[in-house]
Structure 1
């Protein structure tokens, strides 16, 4: 027997085929489906995609993007910006923590979409205190007349667009698997079905973190955290530089710039994962 009315799963199938339906609206329907099927896993995933991930959450791999590591500096009387460097040219303390060109984006889907609304081809992501990182680079720099002043990651706008697309695709995969597994005379998939599909299509992994936190107006931009995990091995008796624990930046139309945040000392915490 065919389904006699439009359940939440059927509604999701129809809405996914309609590009005018926002990804946020689809995820809200997912929360309802998770409640109906008793799947906390689906509800948690949809909420995280809507509201953003916390710094200690596992981030789905489709939210991982690669950026170009760039530095600004001065050599004699000449200023230069946007010089590309490799991960191997980062300070040793950062290399030892596995810092590289990969970052993970933890902001809510609506904020991700907003960050892509620019005519620029790339967006600059910078830690709260790039000068402190530059100071580390200068300590290891053998050229006395060349000084680094800032370090940041340049990420293509299309990479962020692709992240939003991947969120919608993950949702489409979940819905397609549930529709295939659900008998036609039933409207609500079981908790086991939903949990299995959600786990399969929301794979997680490790990298560094960029987070856009909600609560800022469009004119002000959004606040961004760049964070990493702390371990006891991060402590160093010779460390003297202060690091930012909850580093924050302002996301404008084309770039992300530094804003104020709290600090933690190098002796207690290394900000890079």
Structure 2
């Protein structure tokens, strides 16, 4: 397969809703190999093979918790498929279950689940919550087979988001690279960094810095310089004052300083900047908070755009 046919094939087939998503992801594996982009290969491989426990999941692989369903016994009476809210679980059970349902399955398994009308799931934390609940119930009362009941359309939505991330990445790459050529490794890495699991809510209106405009806004970056990038880092540092955990705050400030040092070096390295931006995103995701998330999103957007425009060596 030639370089032109690979990039052209992805661009041609990615908008065809009948084109298997797994096939497009396998083309991404090959594109990642030919461009040297480990980040693209890793993303495509994880989507195809599934994510390991403990992996950081892209945001589109987390679902809000649906209602619970259970079978119950009270004396001689039995009832099936009773519906409950997660809020009805004991406090320790709610804590164990958490606020989100994580999807580690391979894409092809998600496709099978999406065909079901009401797929149900249980897991270790939910079984533990069931045990705690039964301890609180009176004699001859019991809750059994506690499970989450989803709509298959929710899984179809996840698959749609994966396809959209792929479309966005390929659109970025083909906008700056002739189909007869391979995109640069740093451009591919930047496209993955920009689109996987991050939704931006900051706009950069001019070269004096970012202005937050809310969660539904589109990020735009125009003519950023190194000085502008430093100002973006300053906004993140200012937002870090709200971080309560001192150890995490120290890690965040160290990451900001590492990025600042790289940007101010004689020859900033694209590879180093992409890696440090990824670390900054990961730390911010652990911390949360609207102010910090907004500042980090704007900084990531600005630095990623600079990387894709070839601003660094």
Q: Secondary structure at the match of 1:103?
A: strand
- The 5 A counterparts of 1:54-69 are 54-66=52-64, 67-69=66-68
What is the Cα deviation at residue 5 of structure 1?
A: 7.5
What is the Cα deviation at residue 192 of structure 1?
A: 1.1
Question: Under a length normalisation based on structure 1, what TM-score does the superposition of the two structures give?
Answer: 0.65
What is the Cα deviation at residue 7 of structure 1?
A: 3.8
What is the Cα deviation at residue 129 of structure 1?
A: 8.8
- The 5 A counterparts of 1:108-257 are 108-118=106-116, 121-127=117-123, 133-141=129-137, 143-182=138-177, 184=178, 187-203=181-197
- Deviation string 1:178-221 (CA, Å, 9 cap, x unpaired) is 11232x3861111111111111111179xxxxxxxxxxxxxxxx
Partner of residue 260, structure 1 = none
Q: Go from structure 1 to structure 2 and tell me whether the alpha carbon gap of 1:155 and 1:82 turns closer, same or farther (over 3 Å shift).
A: same
Question: Under a length normalisation based on structure 2, what TM-score does the superposition of the two structures give?
Answer: 0.57
Count of residue correspondences: 197
Partner of residue 39, structure 1 = 37
Flag the structure with more relative contact order, 1 or 2, with Cα contacts below 8 A and sequence separation at least 6. 1
Q: How far apart, in 1, do the equivalents of 2:166 and 2:192 lie?
A: 8
Structure 1 stretch displaced more, 30-39 or 109-118 = 109-118
Partner of residue 8, structure 1 = 6
Q: Secondary structure at the match of 1:41?
A: helix
More strand by share: 1
Q: Secondary structure at the match of 2:28?
A: helix
- Asked if the contact 1:87–1:99 (Cα under 8 Å) also holds between the matched residues in 2, the reply is no
Q: Secondary structure at the match of 2:51?
A: coil
Structure 1 unaligned segments of length 5 or more: list them.
206-273
- Deviation string 1:110-130 (CA, Å, 9 cap, x unpaired) is 111122333xx2111012696
Partner of residue 19, structure 1 = 17
Q: How far apart, in 1, do the equivalents of 2:150 and 2:97 lie?
A: 19
Structure 2 unaligned segments of length 5 or more: list them.
200-313
- Asked if the contact 1:134–1:151 (Cα under 8 Å) also holds between the matched residues in 2, the reply is yes
- Deviation string 1:68-127 (CA, Å, 9 cap, x unpaired) is 222221112221222222222222222234623x20111111111122333xx2111012
Q: How far apart, in 2, do the equivalents of 1:140 and 1:191 lie?
A: 57
Q: Secondary structure at the match of 2:146?
A: strand
- Deviation string 1:206-264 (CA, Å, 9 cap, x unpaired) is xxxxxxxxxxxxxxxxxxxxxxxxxxxxxxxxxxxxxxxxxxxxxxxxxxxxxxxxxxx
Q: Secondary structure at the match of 1:176?
A: helix
Q: How far apart, in 2, do the equivalents of 1:158 and 1:144 lie?
A: 40
Q: Secondary structure at the match of 2:143?
A: strand
Partner of residue 73, structure 2 = 74
Q: How far apart, in 2, do the equivalents of 1:152 and 1:90 lie?
A: 12
